[in-house]
Amino acid sequence: MTSARLMVTTTVLTILVVAGSVLGQPTHPPLSGREAGASPAAPDPRISLNLKPAIQEVLKQTMQEHLQALQSIVAALAQENYEKASAIAHEELGFPKHHQVMQRERGTPFPKKYQELAIAHHQAAEDLAEVIPTKEMKPILQQMDQTMKACVACHQAYKL
Which CATH number characterizes residue 88's domain? 1.20.120
Q: What is the pTM of this model?
A: 0.75
Q: Give the total number of structural domains in the chain.
A: 1
| Closest of 75, 59, 91 to residue 15, by C-alpha | 75
pLDDT class for 131, splitting at 50, 70, 90? very high
The distance of Cα 16 from the centroid of its chain, to the nearest Å, equals 11
Over residues 123-134, the mean pLDDT reads: 97
Which residues constitute the domain of residue 141?
55-160
How do residues 78-111 score in pLDDT, each as one tens digit?
999 999 999 999 999 998 888 777 777 788 889 9
Asked, for residue 43, whether it belongs to a domain, the answer is no
d(Cα 133, Cα 97) in Å, to the nearest integer? 20
For 122, residues 6+ apart whose C-beta sits below 8 A from its C-beta are 93, 94, 95, 97, 98
